[in-house]
């Protein structure tokens, strides 16, 4: 087994005891078992730690139900970190703690009103940044992202989505050259000449995978799509995500990865 590499960092935040009052867009509200959610989140964090990630843990915030989903609050580029302005009012108070934690690692930039942007809508593929056109990320968000990232040499590309919460509900990177996609929710041709793996039709929610170094942290709940990943040579670390999935959270949204 490879020894863990140093200098990999992930910011995570413990599950809020008020997660039951989370925002919901596509799913009906169902009871979230806090203890199970905490156990599953701990397993996720352990997977990152076992891969050599140094974890910076932010404490839970009882008044912020969705605060475990740290990805939405910050977009990390090599050069800067962009603190977002989330698309729902209830999540705006999450930014202060994340900005404070991120300031140790990157120069900060901020998405400003009237823009809204959720980190779950940003997919980075090399020097391309795809920005989901979702209910959470508006035209001003796209335009501010372009103003911040273009001078650094990124191209910023609008990615229309339909039927899902965020762009990364529909597509994520599973290696430096392969995307995992649900093509009912995003048109894959916008990504150009990349290799694609399509989710199994029985598993529409299965496109959200967390690329952590060279391996993929991936929900146990999608075995058919997992087989598709493994048959293309991708190493998968399975984790249970059923409780946080009731809050419409996936595996990318529970960490901010800095490499
Ligand atoms: C929300 O609706 O904002 C949360 N309940 C779920 C956010 C999930 N975030 C993500 O996929 N990036």
For 10-26, write each residue's pLDDT tens digit: 999 999 999 999 999 99
How far, in Å, CA of 3 to CA of 23, rounded?
Answer: 39
Q: Are 208 and 251 in contact (CB under 8 A)?
A: yes
Q: Which residue has the least CA distance to atom 12 on ligand 1? A: 120
The predicted-structure confidence for 67-118, as pLDDT tens digits, reads as follows: 999 999 999 999 999 999 999 999 999 999 999 999 999 999 999 999 999 9
Secondary structure letter of residue 252 according to DSSP: G
Distance CA 238, CA 235 (A): 10
Note the pTM of the prediction, 2 decimals.
0.96
Ligand 1 surroundings by CB, under 6 angstroms? 22-23, 25, 66, 69, 71-72, 91, 120, 165-166, 168, 247-250, 253
Catalytic, 140? Answer no
Mutate to test the pocket of ligand 1, among 11, 95, 253 (most ligand atoms within 8 A of CB): 253
Which residues, other chains included, contact 130 with Cβ-Cβ below 8 Å and sequence gap of 6+? 122, 123, 124, 157, 158, 159, 167, 171, 190, 191
- What separation in Å is there between the alpha carbon of 253 and the centre of ligand 1? 7
């Amino acid at each position: 087994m490879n020894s863990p590499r140093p200098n990999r960092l992930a910011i995570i935040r413990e599950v809020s005891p008020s997660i039951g009052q989370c925002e919901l867009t596509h799913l009906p509200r169902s009871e979230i078992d806090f203890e199970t959610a905490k156990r599953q989140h701990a397993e996720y964090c352990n997977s990152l730690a076992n891969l050599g990630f140094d974890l910076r843990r932010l404490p839970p915030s009882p008044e912020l139900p969705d605060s475990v989903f740290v990805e939405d609050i910050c977009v990390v580029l090599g050069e800067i970190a962009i603190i977002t302005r989330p698309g729902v009012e209830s999540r705006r108070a999450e930014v202060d703690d994340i900005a404070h934690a991120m300031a140790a690692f990157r120069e900060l930039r901020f998405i400003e009103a009237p823009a809204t942007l959720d980190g779950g809508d940003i997919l980075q593929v090399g020097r391309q940044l795809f920005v989901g056109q979702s209910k959470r990320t508006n035209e001003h968000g796209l335009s501010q992202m372009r103003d911040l990232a273009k001078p650094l040499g990124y191209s910023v590309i609008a990615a229309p989505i339909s039927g899902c919460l965020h762009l990364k509900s529909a597509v994520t990177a599973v290696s430096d050259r392969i995307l995992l996609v649900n093509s009912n929710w995003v048109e894959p041709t916008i990504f150009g000449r990349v290799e694609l793996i399509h989710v199994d039709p029985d598993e529409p929610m299965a496109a959200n995978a967390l690329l952590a170094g060279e391996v993929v942290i991936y929900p146990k709940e999608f075995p058919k799509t997992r087989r598709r990943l493994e048959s293309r040579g991708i190493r998968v670390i399975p984790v249970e995500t059923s409780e946080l999935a009731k809050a419409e959270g996936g595996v990318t949204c529970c960490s901010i990865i800095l490499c």
